[in-house]
Amino acid sequence: MKIKCLFSEVNGVVLLNGTPVKNAEVERYYNWQGPDKSNREVVKTDSQGRFSFSAVYDNTILASIFPHNPSIQQEINIRYQGKEYEAYMLMKGDYEENSELNGKSLTLKCNLQDEPSRVGGFYGICTLADD
């Protein structure tokens, strides 16, 4: 049975007008719509505005036995000074690691002053850090 990657590893930085944001709350949420599994986890940015989440894997037997089209809702939201920001939103359609952005790692730069938009295959205020 093959282990399934529901959300690849994420590394990022939160900025406000070019300055790193310390102690912003960053929440990662996913909802795997086949077996209806979801999870939320929250981290705080460090003094350099950095945050990270480990990859999420699952090896549920039912998803291996029954044919289906994978559908995993992925979201990252940021809360800072009483405001919430839509940082990253994507529907993942397979179980491969780093497939969210066609093999690129999820290394994000999230500028709180930006408006959410669809860029690089996902929606939110974040962009790929190396773009």
Q: pLDDT by residue (tens digit) across 102-127?
A: 989 999 999 999 999 998 789 999 99
pLDDT computed for residue 13 by the predictor: 98
Select from 15, 24, 89, 11 the least CA-distant residue to 52. 11
pLDDT of residue 119: 82
The predicted-structure confidence for 88-107, as pLDDT tens digits, reads as follows 999 999 989 999 999 899 99
Write down the pLDDT at residue 129: 86
- Structurally, at CATH architecture level, domain 4-128 sits in Sandwich (2.60)
pLDDT average, residue stretch 69-82: 94
- Detail the DSSP E strand segments found in 8-55: 10-16, 19-20, 25-32, 37-44, 50-53
Domain positions in the chain are: 4-128
Cα torsion for 128, 92, 53, 46, to the nearest 10°? 40
| pLDDT score for 121 | 86
Element (H, E) at 117: strand 117-119
When pLDDT is cut at 50, 70 and 90, the band that residue 62 belongs to is low
Per-residue confidence (pLDDT) for residue 10, from 0 to 100: 98
With cut-offs at 50, 70 and 90, classify the pLDDT of residue 61.
low
pLDDT at residue 67 tops 80: no
H/E stretch holding 65 reads helix 61-65
Predicted pLDDT at 23: 98
Residue 97's pLDDT is what?
A: 94
Joined together, the tokens standing for residue 4 give: 């399934």
Is 0.85 topped by the overall pTM?
yes
Extract the tokens encoding 39.
């999870």
User: DSSP string spanning 68-97?
Assistant: ----EEEEEEEEETTEEEEEEEEEE-S--T
